[in-house]
């Protein structure tokens, strides 16, 4: 496999050109990944530069500078410390957690060993505080494959959008967020930007790394608006962000005071552990591990960004290789034939699978877009339906309000007409009464002066009239009369009729009250006849009360004015109208009550009320008093 190739040595040397970067020396055994970090979740945030940096007194604080041995990565890290010492219960709480878990402190040192020198090189190149080298403890516990439920990944827990913003590629072959070298450069650039944004206040900068620039900016503006301090410790933040900075300060304090807290710091020399090799093109990872003469799993711990069995076809074409294996790797790479760099069959299968995956992804994306479009169309249709329904409801409501207003207007009009009719009826009754009185006086045969010992009976007999007629004509309340009283004597021909019509008129006037008027709603099948019969009226009277003709049709729902009491109209009321007259009728043989009522246009009830003798039955020769409408041409 490693036989010489026909390719020129210079070409292979170009492909194997090396770019050395700092890593620390560790044993060659695989790095153990065990335990769990105290925090493995970073809330999602959107990178959004603020318009101006926030000033803070933290940038002016004096820091305790480490002056010990820098032969180890821990000594070098401590010499780069720049954050102020903070005395806070929140920091002490996190510190106590670390002190209660010494095994965890040992594990994170083992995991950090291959990466710490590289991290310190990047921090030093950007003049960043050494405490930031411990940020992966808080983010991922130095597990490069760490993945959070917010879709953050890698040592520095980049979410996809922020990773892409800082140039970290993400595709089916490669995830730059898990690339040790690429993600470290991106994270230190991100932290440098945050430090500049917040004027060197690293507590605010670190809180922004966790919660987002924009959110921290809003929290600061809220405190400014409320007149409160704007430092990190005074902001109203989510619990995760309130614990985030104290966790970093606590682990930094623990490493700075390891002897005080009886914590063993592992002896990791401050020397390069690995180098970045530009391999030039795609390479199978198992081949690369074999050329580096190290187990595949250990090799992948240095190169966790690749997601398949080989590096990405379109790059990046670099690998981290331990310095102790660098020369051997270079020699083997130079001897490797180009066509053996990748298992072509496997590559073709992977490429085919990748094309199928992309096609499936495109199909799924297309279906998802169609589903979204369909859902949007359905939402729009639902909105239109709701708007249409709302419009119909509003229209129905307006129609109902209009109908109600129209009904009230019609009722008011009918009531006004009823009042006018009642006034006209009262006026006519008054005129009728006056005419009756005139007729009454015209019917008098003369005057008679009561003599001593005379009674109304004797006077009525003497003058061929009745006691009732005398009392009516002279407005007498009793049957007795005083000596010397001058009485008016009605004619015998008209005395009884005048008395009865006068009584009818009086009773009709007393029983006709405007407040007794009411309405009847016409039902399906109603006619003037059956409605008038229900209220003991004549069809013509009912039609006149409502300004209609008996020949007209009633419609369902129509409201009719019913004058008089809540019960039926009495025959006396009919007699009191302007065109009423009294008829005397002698029952003939073969007559029936129905025939008589039909003949004179009256109801049976009115006929019975005017003739109490009908209670004994209708018989030939019975004299009936019938009050009827004289204007009816059929009578």
> What is the three-class DSSP state of 74?
helix
**In angstroms, rounded to a whole number, what is the distance separating the alpha carbons of residues 168 and 305?**
10
Closest CA to 122 of 106, 134, 138, 133: 133
Q: Judge residue 308's burial from the number of C-beta atoms within 10 Å of its C-beta, 0-12 exposed, 13-18 middle, 19 or more buried.
A: middle
> What is the three-class DSSP state of 488?
strand
Q: Which of 25, 139, 350, 440 is catalytic?
A: 139
Is 17 in contact with 278 (CB distance < 8 Å)?
Answer: yes
Is 495 in contact with 532 (CB distance < 8 Å)?
Answer: no
**In angstroms, rounded to a whole number, what is the distance separating the alpha carbons of residues 440 and 443?**
5
Is 515 in contact with 553 (CB distance < 8 Å)?
Answer: no
Q: Longest Cα pair distance anywhere in the chain, in angstroms?
A: 175
Instruction: Give the contacts of 75 (CB within 8 A, at least 6 positions apart).
Output: 66, 68, 69, 270
| Cβ neighbours around 280 below 10 Å, total | 18
Convert 219-284 into a string of H (helix), E (strand) and C (coil).
HHHHHHHCCCCCCHHHCCCCHHHHHHHHHHHHHHHHHHCCCCCCCCCCCCECCCCEEEEECCCCCE
CA distance readout (Å), 482 to 320, 453, 476: 148, 9, 11
Phi-psi region of 169 (alpha: psi -120 to 50; beta: other; left: phi over 0): beta
Is 155 in contact with 190 (CB distance < 8 Å)?
Answer: no
Closest CA to 44 of 137, 148, 140: 148
Q: Is 139 a catalytic residue?
A: yes
**In angstroms, rounded to a whole number, what is the distance separating the alpha carbons of residues 124 and 116?**
12
| Peptide bond preceding 316 in cis form (omega within 30 of 0) | yes
Q: Judge residue 288's burial from the number of C-beta atoms within 10 Å of its C-beta, 0-12 exposed, 13-18 middle, 19 or more buried.
A: buried
Closest CA to 587 of 570, 607, 569, 601: 607
Give the Cα-Cα-Cα angle 359, 361, 362 (nearest 5 degrees): 65
Which phi and psi (to 5°) does residue 629 adopt? -85, 115
DSSP-derived secondary structure for 561-618: EE-SSSSPPPHHHHHTSTTEEEEEEEPPTT--HHHHHHHHT--HHHHHHH-GGGGG--
Is 444 in contact with 469 (CB distance < 8 Å)?
Answer: no
Question: Mind telling me the catalytic residues?
Answer: 139
């Amino acid at each position: 496999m490693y036989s010489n190739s026909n390719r020129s040595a210079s070409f292979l040397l170009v492909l194997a050109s090396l770019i050395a970067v700092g890593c620390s020396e560790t044993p060659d055994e695989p790095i153990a990944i065990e335990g769990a970090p105290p925090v493995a979740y970073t809330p999602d945030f959107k990178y959004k530069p603020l318009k101006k940096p926030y000033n803070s007194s933290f940038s002016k604080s004096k820091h305790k500078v480490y002056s010990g041995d820098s032969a180890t990565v821990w000594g070098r890290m401590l010499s780069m410390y720049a954050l102020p010492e903070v005395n806070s219960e929140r920091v002490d709480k996190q510190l106590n957690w670390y002190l209660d878990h010494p095994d965890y402190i040992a594990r994170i040192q083992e995991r950090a060993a291959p990466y710490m020198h590289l991290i310190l090189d990047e921090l030093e190149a950007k003049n960043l505080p050494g405490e930031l080298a411990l940020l992966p403890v808080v983010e991922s516990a130095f597990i490069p494959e760490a993945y959070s439920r917010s879709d953050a990944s890698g040592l520095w827990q980049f979410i996809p959008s922020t990773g892409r913003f800082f140039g970290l590629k993400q595709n089916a072959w490669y995830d730059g967020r898990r690339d040790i070298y690429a993600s470290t450069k991106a994270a230190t650039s991100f932290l440098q930007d945050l430090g500049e944004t917040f004027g060197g206040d690293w507590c605010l900068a670190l809180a922004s790394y966790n919660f987002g620039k924009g959110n921290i900016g809003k929290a600061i503006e809220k405190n400014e608006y409320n007149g409160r301090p704007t430092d990190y410790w005074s902001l109203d933040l989510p619990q995760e962000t309130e614990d985030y900075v104290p966790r970093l300060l606590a682990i930094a304090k623990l490493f700075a005071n390891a002897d005080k807290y009886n914590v063993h710091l592992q002896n990791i020399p401050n020397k390069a552990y690995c180098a970045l090799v530009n391999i030039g093109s795609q390479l199978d990872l198992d081949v690369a591990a074999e050329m580096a003469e190290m187990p595949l799993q250990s090799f992948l711990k240095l190169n966790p960004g690749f997601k398949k069995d080989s590096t990405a076809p379109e790059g990046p074409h670099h690998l981290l290789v331990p310095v102790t294996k660098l020369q051997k790797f270079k020699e083997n790479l130079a001897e490797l034939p180009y066509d053996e760099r990748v298992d072509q069959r496997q590559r073709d299968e992977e490429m085919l699978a990748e094309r199928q995956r992309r096609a499936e992804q495109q199909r799924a994306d297309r279906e998802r877009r169609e589903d979204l479009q369909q859902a949007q169309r359905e939402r729009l249709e639902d909105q239109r339906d709701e708007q249409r329904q709302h419009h119909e409801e509003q229209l129905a409501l307006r129609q109902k309000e209009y109908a109600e207003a129209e009904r009230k207007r019609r009722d008011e009009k009918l009531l006004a007409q009823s009042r006018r009719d009642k006034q006209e009826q009262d006026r006519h009754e008054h005129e009728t009464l006056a005419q009756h009185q005139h007729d009454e006086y015209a019917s008098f045969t003369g005057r008679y002066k009561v003599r001593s010992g005379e009674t109304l009976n004797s006077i009525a007999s003497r003058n061929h009239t009745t006691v009732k007629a005398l009392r009516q004509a002279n407005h007498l309340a009793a049957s007795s009369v005083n000596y010397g009283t001058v009485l008016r004597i009605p004619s015998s021909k008209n005395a009884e009729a005048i008395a009865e019509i006068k009584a009818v008129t009086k009773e009709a006037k007393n029983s006709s009250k405007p407040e007794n008027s009411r309405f009847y709603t016409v039902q399906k099948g109603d006619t003037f006849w059956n409605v008038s019969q229900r209220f003991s009226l004549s069809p013509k009277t009912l039609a006149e009360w409502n300004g209609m003709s008996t020949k007209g049709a009633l419609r369902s729902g129509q409201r009719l004015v019913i004058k008089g009491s809540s019960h039926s109209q009495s025959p006396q009321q009919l007699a009191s109208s302007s065109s009423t007259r009294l008829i005397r009728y002698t029952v003939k043989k073969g007559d029936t009550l129905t025939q008589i009522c039909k003949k004179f246009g009256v109801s049976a009830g009115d006929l019975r009320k005017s003739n109490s003798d009908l209670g004994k039955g209708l018989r030939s020769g019975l004299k009936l008093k019938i009050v009827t409408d004289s204007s009816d041409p059929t009578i």
